[in-house]
Amino acid sequence: MGDYVIGLIWLLLFLFISFPGYFFSAAIGAVFPLLFIVLPFFGLLFLIPYLDIIYILAMSDDKWNRRYNRGVATPKPYKPVKKNTADELEKLHAIKEKGIISEKEFQKRKEDLL
C-alpha cells in the first residue's frame, strides 16, 4: 500500500511540473517552472552559513588567532608565582610562636612546604 501512495505522489508531482498550465491558469503555469530554478538557489544561500560554521569549528586555535584576532594570541592563564620557602617557614614559625597553631600542625605544614 505504501509504495502505491508514494508512486501516486511522484506521478502527481511529475504532472504538476510537466504540465502546469493544465492545472493552473496560464500565468501561473508559465511562472511555476521558474520556481524549480529559483528555490534551490535560495536553499544554497541558507546552506552557506552552515558550511562556514563547520569550517570555524574545525579551525585550530592558532589559525583562529591569525584570521580573526589579527595574529594576536589570547593570553595564557595566570600562573601564581611560587613564594620563597624560607620566608614561608619564617611566617609559619611566627604563627606557631604566637600560639595560633600547634606544634603538630606546624610540622605538618612544614612538611607540605618542603
With cell 580573526, the residue in question is 68
Q: Is 88 helix (H, G, I), strand (E, B) or coil?
A: helix
pLDDT 10s digits, 93-105: 899 899 898 889 9
How far apart, in whole angstroms, are the C-alpha atoms of residue 65 and residue 53?
A: 16
pLDDT of residue 60: 86
What single-letter DSSP state applies at residue 61? H
pLDDT computed for residue 27 by the predictor: 65
Q: What is the pTM of this model?
A: 0.30
Per-domain residue ranges for the chain? 2-68, 81-114
First vs last Cα of the chain: how many Å apart? 82
